[in-house]
A and B are shown apart, each in its own frame.
Chain A
Amino acid sequence: MYRTHKRALALGGALIAATLVLGSGFSPRSAEARYVRNATRTNVNANVNRNRNVNVNRNYNVHRDVDVDVDHGHYHPVARGVAFGAAATLTAAAVGSVVNSLPPSCSTTMVNGLTYQNCGGTWYQPRYAGTQVNYVVVNPPR
């Protein structure tokens, strides 16, 4: 179960990884459907003192900074090899969907001081979920 829901994050430390999503009010299934799974999810405690905030549960969805930068000195074939393919299948992405990486060929636009990515007409807003960058599909900003 812990593989599919919960929230998470982690600054570095827990560091390797981070993110994932969801929360209550969602059945596991719909929550799952909203996210592209491109990595393993391991819940590794990087601190002994946890659960201070009972609302937060941590899952570490390991993925790399694969989006804008192309610094791929290292490769994780099993866990991360499908990142781009998975994202690409999400073409007609519904507003509110979240992906961990962008499809190829996006252009960056700043609107009201915030960053958006226009990927073939689908607009994504990058954001930090914890320390992990992910992208939520949004209506065209104005």
Chain B
Amino acid sequence: MPAVTVVFACGCIHVEKQPTVREPAMVPASGRQPTSRPEAASQARTESAAKSPAAPAIDPAAIQALERMGAFLREQRSFAIRSDTSTDDVLDNGQKVQFAEVVEMWVKRPNRMRVNVVSDAKRRQSFFDGKTFTLYSPRLGYYATFDAPPTLRELIDVAEQRYNLEFPLVDLFYWGTDKSGLKDIKTASSFGRSKVGDYDCDHYALQQNDVDWQIWIQRGAQPLPRKLVITSKRELGQPQFTAVLGWNLEPKLNESAFMFEPPKGARRIVFEQAQNALRPGG
């Protein structure tokens, strides 16, 4: 719940119209038992009591499936992904339109990552070679770099907190870790077998405070996420983000793919730092 978060974060004075309830999002983790999770369930029940007498449930099988998927993702030392995404854009006139984007990502743990993003509106490439992070806009010719921390995990945090850079599909890097966010889940349901392209999957639906989401996890020995749908239910029009994922768990990764060499004509620019942004000069 974004707006509320900001209130607490910066003491902003302009959030008075937002609901000021701090959600009880932080249900105690209470271990990893994929059992009934009574605290989460009762928490959710309290919240929705006014609207619905039915107690939302957390299907342990769904949580178990997420944990199994997370563990499998953690085991992968290198992988390549192609994500075909579509994202809703709610126009000022209320109309919802959908835009497509392709994200390609090559990852070699613990310290290499390359991302290519291509949409109608823009192109971005990012490079992490274990030392430096670079963001490059091929059409604009702009690039910017910062000295990166030594691992992907740290990079993701630094990029987000210092430069407001959120990597695409960043959940893939959190699932299976202590930041998996599973404790934020209020309800979890299983819908059984479902195909995503050629892949036989199981379909799950989860609810959190500000998002509802669905995930299709491949059946069998490789429990990979094949499709993800995220609904921003607190936003006008409830826009959705959808990603269909293609996986290569044995990619051929050339070291040069992670290194940035400024092409001829490329020009260096700066990153706006998050701290500065919170205190714009003037």
- A residues in contact (CB < 8 Å) with B: 1-2, 5-17, 21-28, 34, 40, 42-58, 62-65, 67-69, 71, 73-74, 76, 78-79, 94-96, 108, 110, 113-115, 125-131, 133-134
The A contact surface, by secondary structure, is: loop
B205, CB-defined interface residue at 8 Å: no
Please report which residues of chain B, range 223-252, place their CB below 8 angstroms from some CB of chain A when the two chains form the complex: 228, 230, 232, 235, 237, 239-241, 243
B104 to A, closest residue via Cβ = A12
Q: A51-B2, A65-B122, A133-B269 are in contact. Are A11 and B135 (CB under 8 A)?
A: yes
Q: How many residues of B contact A (CB 8 A)?
A: 87
Smallest CB separation, A108 vs chain B (Å): 7
Interface code B186-213, partner A: CB below 8 Å = 1, 0 otherwise?
A: 0000000000000000000010101101
| Across-interface contacts of A57 in B (CB, < 8 A) | 2-3, 5-6, 9
Contact B115 A12 (CB under 8 A): yes
* Interface: B47 (CB within 8 A): no
Given A1-B17, A125-B270, A127-B144, A7:B164 Cβ within 8 A: yes
Q: Are B95 and A78 in contact (CB under 8 A)?
A: yes
Given A9-B165, A13-B168, A48-B181: A114 touches B115 (CB 8 Å cut-off): no
CB-CB contacts below 8 Å: B1-24 with A: 1-3, 5-6, 8-15, 17-18
Q: A8 near B208 (CB under 8 angstroms)?
A: no
